[in-house]
Structure 1
Amino acid sequence: MSTLTIGMSADERPLVLPAAATRYWAGRHVVVTGGSSGIGLAVTELALAAGARVSVVALADAALERLSAGAQASSDVLTVVAADVSNQQEVAAALDRARVANGRIDAVIACAGIAKPNYFESLTDADFTRHMAVNYFGALHVIRAALPDLRDGERASITVISSMAAVLPCFGYGAYSPSKFAVRALCEVLRQELKPHGITVTVVLPPDVDTPQLAAESATKPPELQALSGSTPITAEQVAHALLVGAARGDASVIPSWNARLLSWFAGFAPRLVARFVDWTIARVQRRRHGRGEG
């Protein structure tokens, strides 16, 4: 089987899953939402390399066209379906097409998401609604549509991309953080309810990831949020690797970088210290802005 390397430069080498994870994903039908770019594309490529049959559900845009062209040229186990994950009927129809192409669904990996940072008062009602529609309901729709298949399968799995912004909500993420917090809560509820049925649920909590979406955020990202973001973004391939390994193990959560894991620990065990650091960082940025006459 040939694998796709869309978005990968000639001198890069794809990450390889450990043997146990490869055995888990081999032969499974995996539905990946948002699988045409960013983290979703990295998940698609790595799952294909592990021997999975993958159905990508994503918006009809240039990224999906590139993926579709690559699928036709190099893969007979990749199905590409255009749909808006916020539309329940489109998601249901997309999964019907996926079943026809690749059979019963064994796993769902919900990567579709949006982020539009800005000051709270600059965000519109439509911004808040759209974040919940895509980030929360987009995951909910695909899970509910796939659940009958997952119940009938063996060692089925659900994996959803949330964010470290759901662990530590940030200045400037007034629409994004609540939607990702809702995703995190949904995953914990589903983990408890579906475990007796043999279905594992994993929530993934990445920090900033070097994707087109992160680049697009810079247009509206407040300087306070830029200061809080801090560290260098990790790669989409790192997130995909950690996601597929963690989901294969049945982990309840995956945090794909050591500094994000450390931050998560501090947020849980020293929340006052974290809050003081956040407030200090914001105040420092605002003092500088006022000092330059920007306030």
Structure 2
Amino acid sequence: MGLCCYMSWVWSLLAIVFGVAVVSLFTRKKRDLQGKHVLITGGSSGIGLSVAHDVVGRGAHVTLLARNVARLEKARSEVEVSASKVAEGGKVQFFSADLSGDPEKVAAAVKDVEANLGPVFMLVNCAGFSRAQKFEDISPQLLKRWCSMKQQQEGVVVFTSSQAGLLGLYGFTAYSAVKGALVKLAEALHMEVKPYNISVTVCYPPDTDTPGLEEENKTKPIETKLISEAAGLFKAEEVAKKLVDDALSGCFTSTVGFEGFMLTTLCAGMGPITDAVSFVAQVFLSGVFRSVSAFYLWSFARIVEKEHQKRLASKKTE
């Protein structure tokens, strides 16, 4: 009798979970970008530039922020072409700044762009790079833009982490640590700004065909390259479209590919629950994915050991 009652309770709970999942899935409202201001750091190339192309097509006004003026001018021209292809395409502007430089100059520039295109509604943080375990962080002055979002009582903040932020990888000791810390920052921020109708999204790109990846590959150890190939290579446009769609839907995580879905499911922990699909996957697939992850980890260990033995053999023949 006790077992029957227990199973009845379990099935009732499952029914409630699925009921809530279905209801939330079909009642979630996607935000509109028409006439809104999107500020993109690292917007002159790669995923940031692809995000710019995507959002102007949705009617948003865009500010591109990066260091290289020549690249910014080229990027602005390209994005303006995308804007001209739609009836109500947005305006495009840029400013050059080193986010690790003078904070007062960055703050002044942000005020200027807001004066031109209105308060920032969506902040997409794509600035940064991975080279010899070096990472450029986000300017404190840009972080303060959340204050203006609080005053507006609406906004979207996007962080670009990495699949390497969900597991430690060979060759990414510093990079994985920083990208992982970015996730916890986003989780805490999500809790703080939710009462202000501000959503937070973390994007976890796999290897993406961008100039940044080309630069990264120049110093990437062979072990890291072989391990990264497991998730494949994706186009920046594909990652950008998914990022924008997920951010406007209020999803906390944004991924492409099976590996990204598996990793975010496994590493959800006490992260925010913002969409039905992710929640149901976390409840019912975590055990399955943990078994799958064991195979991945075993194959990664084999790669590392194999390359280690190659180096040892090479030294013996010298």
TM > 0.5: yes
Which residue identity does 1:261 align to in structure 2? F
Evaluate the alpha carbon distance shift between residue 49 and residue 72 of structure 1 in structure 2; reply closer, same or farther with a 3 A threshold.
closer
Q: Which of 123, 131, 135 is matched with 1:116 structurally?
A: 131
What is the match of residue 106 of structure 1? Answer: 121
Evaluate the alpha carbon distance shift between residue 141 and residue 228 of structure 1 in structure 2; reply closer, same or farther with a 3 A threshold.
farther
8 Å CA contact 1:86, 1:141 repeated in 2: no
Asked if 1:49 is matched to 2:57, the reply is: yes
What is the match of residue 84 of structure 1? Answer: 98
CA distance in 1: counterparts of 2:185 and 2:266, whole angstroms:
23
8 Å CA contact 1:116, 1:175 repeated in 2: no
CA distance in 1: counterparts of 2:267 and 2:148, whole angstroms:
37
Which residue identity does 2:53 align to in structure 1? E
CA distance in 2: counterparts of 1:241 and 1:198, whole angstroms:
22
What is the match of residue 36 of structure 2? Answer: 28
* Segment drifting more, 53-62 vs 37-46: 53-62
Evaluate the alpha carbon distance shift between residue 171 and residue 149 of structure 1 in structure 2; reply closer, same or farther with a 3 A threshold.
same
What is the match of residue 249 of structure 1? Answer: 249
What is the match of residue 199 of structure 2? Answer: 200
Instruction: Quote the offset at 1:184 in angstroms.
Output: 1.1
CA distance in 1: counterparts of 2:151 and 2:257, whole angstroms:
34
Asked if 1:262 is matched to 2:279, the reply is: no
CA distance in 1: counterparts of 2:232 and 2:80, whole angstroms:
35
Instruction: Quote the offset at 1:275 in angstroms.
Output: 4.2
Q: How does 1:111-190 map to 2 (within 5 A)?
A: 111-117=126-132, 127=134, 131=135, 134-135=136-137, 137-138=138-139, 140-144=140-144, 146-190=145-189
Deviation per residue, 1:101-138 (Å, 9 max, x gap): 10111111111111114xxxxx6xxx4xxx2xx23x34
Asked if 1:65 is matched to 2:78, the reply is: no
Which residue identity does 2:253 align to in structure 1? S
Q: Which runs of 5+ in 1 are unaligned?
A: 1-19, 118-122
Instruction: Quote the offset at 1:168 in angstroms.
Output: 1.1
Instruction: Quote the offset at 1:265 in angstroms.
Output: 4.1
8 Å CA contact 2:42, 2:48 repeated in 1: yes
DSSP 3-state at the match of 1:65: helix
What is the match of residue 311 of structure 2? Answer: 289
Which residue identity does 2:57 align to in structure 1? A
Q: Percent identity?
A: 29
What is the match of residue 222 of structure 2? Answer: 223
Instruction: Quote the offset at 1:62 in angstroms.
Output: 3.1
CA distance in 1: counterparts of 2:245 and 2:264, whole angstroms:
20
Which residue identity does 1:48 align to in structure 2? V
CA distance in 2: counterparts of 1:34 and 1:228, whole angstroms:
26
Instruction: Quote the offset at 1:141 in angstroms.
Output: 3.7
| Rg larger in structure | 2
8 Å CA contact 1:71, 1:79 repeated in 2: no
8 Å CA contact 2:80, 2:91 repeated in 1: no
CA distance in 2: counterparts of 1:115 and 1:194, whole angstroms:
29
Instruction: Quote the offset at 1:69 in angstroms.
Output: 4.6
Which residue identity does 1:244 align to in structure 2? V
8 Å CA contact 1:203, 1:252 repeated in 2: yes
CA distance in 1: counterparts of 2:228 and 2:184, whole angstroms:
23
Q: Which runs of 5+ in 2 are unaligned?
A: 1-28, 85-89, 269-285
Relative to the length of structure 2, the TM-score reads 0.74
* Segment drifting more, 71-80 vs 161-170: 71-80
CA distance in 2: counterparts of 1:69 and 1:57, whole angstroms:
14
Which residue identity does 2:117 align to in structure 1? N
Deviation per residue, 1:4-53 (Å, 9 max, x gap): xxxxxxxxxxxxxxxx75x6111111111111100000001110011001
DSSP 3-state at the match of 2:120: coil
Deviation per residue, 1:226-266 (Å, 9 max, x gap): 11111431111111101100010111111122232224445
Which residue identity does 1:253 align to in structure 2? T
Which residue identity does 1:162 align to in structure 2? S
Which residue identity does 1:246 align to in structure 2? D
8 Å CA contact 1:108, 1:143 repeated in 2: no
What is the match of residue 301 of structure 2? Answer: 279
